[in-house]
Amino acid sequence: MTKSGEKQEKSTVNMTVDPIEKAIGRFGKYQICILILIGIGRLPTEFQITNVVFILPSVDYTCRDDVTSNLTNVCPCNQPEYDQSIMTSSAVTTWDLICGRKNLASVAQSMLQVGILLGSLGFGYISDKYGRKTAVHLSLSVSVISVATSAAVPEFWMFCVLRVCCGIGVGGTMVCCYVLLIEMSGKSFRLYLMALIEASYILGYFLISVIAYFVRDWRHLQLVTSLPWVFVFLYYWAVPESPRWLITAGKKQEAIGLLTRIAKKNNMPTENIEEIVNEIENESLSAAQEQKGSYLDLFRTPKIRMCTIISALVWFSVTFVFYGVNQYIGRLDGNMHLNVMLSSLALAPGLVITIIGALLFSRRVSIVLSFCISAFSLLLFLVIPKSMAVLSVACAIVGQTGIFTAFIQVYLFSAEIFPTVIRNSALGFGSTMARFGGLIAPFVVNIGVEWISIVLFSSFALLAAILCCFLPETKDIVLMNSIKQMEKPNDKPEKTTDKVLK
pLDDT in tens, 106-144: 788 788 888 888 887 788 788 888 889 999 999 999 999
Range of weakest confidence among 158-167, 275-284, 325-334, 422-431: 325-334
350, pLDDT greater than 90: no
Q: What's the whole-number mean pLDDT along residues 402-426?
A: 83
Which three-class secondary structure state does DSSP give residue 239?
Answer: coil
Are the C-beta atoms of 370 and 408 separated by less than 8 Å?
no
Are the C-beta atoms of 95 and 153 separated by less than 8 Å?
no
445, pLDDT greater than 80: no
Amino acid letter for position 397 = I
Counting DSSP H helices and E strands in the chain, the numbers are 24, 3
The yes/no answer on whether domain 17-59+95-490 falls in CATH 1.20.1250.20 is: yes
Residue spans per domain, the chain? 17-59+95-490
- pLDDT at residue number 69: 61
Cα-Cα end-to-end distance for the chain? 27
Residue 237 exposed, middle or buried by CB count within 10 Å (0-12, 13-18, 19+): exposed
| pLDDT confidence bin for 8, thresholds 50/70/90 | very low
Amino acid letter for position 122 = G
63, pLDDT greater than 70: yes
Give dist(CA 475, CA 158) in Å, integer. Answer: 46
- pLDDT at residue number 16: 55
12, pLDDT greater than 80: no
Q: Examine residue 442 and say whether the peptide bond preceding it is cis (omega within 30 degrees of 0).
A: no
500, pLDDT greater than 70: no
11, pLDDT greater than 60: no
**Stated pTM of the model:** 0.76
